[in-house]
Amino acid sequence: MKVLACYSMKGGVGKTATAVNVAWMAANAGMKTLLIDLDPQGASSYYFKVKPAKKDWSERFFKAYEHLLEHIKHSEFDGLDVIPAHLGFRQFDVLLDALGKRKSRLDNILKGLKDEYELVILDCPPTIGNLAESIFNASDYILAPVIPTTLSERTFDQLNAFFEEHDYPKQKLVPFFSMVQAQKALHRHTMETLRARSDRFLYSAIPFTSDIEKMGEHQTPVMLFAPNGKGAKAFATLWVELQPLLREFED
C-alpha cells in the first residue's frame, strides 16, 4: 500500500483539486483507492458527494484503524472510497498533543488498511503542527503544489527548512507548479528560478483554468466534465509522472 499526501502550508493553492483528480485517476487505473479528507472544510468530500458523519468522532480517529473502517464510504466510482472530513477534525493538533507517540499515530493506523487498499491519498489542511508531522511520517510521498509567486516560493522554502530542521527526508517532497498563468512574467520567472534551484519539481504544471474552478459546481473531477480542457490534460500528465514514484513502493 502506498500513501500519498497532498499538502501545503499555504491554503488556496490547488491541493484539494489535485487530491480529487489523482484519486479518481488512480481508481480509474484499477488501483483500490481510499481518499481521507483531513481538512475540516471537507472540500474533497464535497467534490465526491460524500457527506460527513453527523456525530463528531475526531477523538477516536487516531486510536485504532477500526475506527477508520467504520467511517469509510463508497463514492459513485468503482474502486474509490472516501473518509469524509468532519468539522471536529479542526481539533486534530490539540488531540495529538495529548497522545503518546503522536508523530507515528497516523502511520500506525494506516498500516491497518494495507489489505484493503493499494493507495491512500490524504487531503491535508494547511497546517504545520502535530497533524502535519504525523502526515510527514505516514506518507511515502508528499505532493506539494506551489503557485509560482513570491509568497508561495517563500512558503515552499519554509517547508524545506522545516524538513531539514526536523530530519524529515526531503526526497519525500514532490513539488509541482499549480494555478499557473503562463501569460504572467512573474509566474514564468518564478518557475525558472525554482527549477534552477531544485531538480525535484515535476515537469507537470497545473494551469489556472475555469474548468478546474467549476469542479465545485459539478461536484466531480475535472476529467469527467471537461476531459479535453487544459486542466484535465495537465492532471493526466501529472498522473503519468507519478507512476514511477508509486511503483517504487509496490509490495
Q: What is the pLDDT of residues 135-175, one digit of tens each?
A: 999 999 999 999 999 999 999 999 999 999 999 999 999 99
* Strand pairing category for 119-123 and 141-146: unpaired
Amino acid letter at 14?
G
* H or E element, residue 144: strand 141-146
pLDDT tens digit string along 84-99?
999 999 999 999 998 8
Return the CATH number of 2-246, one of 3.30.420.270, 3.40.190.80, 3.40.50.300, 3.20.20.140. 3.40.50.300
pLDDT given at position 251: 46
3-state helix, strand, coil split of the chain in percent (to 5) is 50, 15, 35
- Name the residue with cell 520567472: 189
pTM for the full model?
Answer: 0.95
> What average pLDDT does the segment 201-217 reach?
95
What integer pLDDT is reported at residue 194 of this predicted model? 93
- Condensed to tens digits (0 to 9), the pLDDT of residues 18-64 reads 999 999 999 999 999 999 999 999 999 999 999 988 899 999 999 88
CA dihedral (237, 242, 247, 248) positive or negative = positive
What value does the CA radius of gyration of the chain take, rounded to a whole number of Å?
A: 17
pLDDT band, residue 208 (cuts 50/70/90): very high
For β-strands 2-6 and 141-146, DSSP reports them as parallel
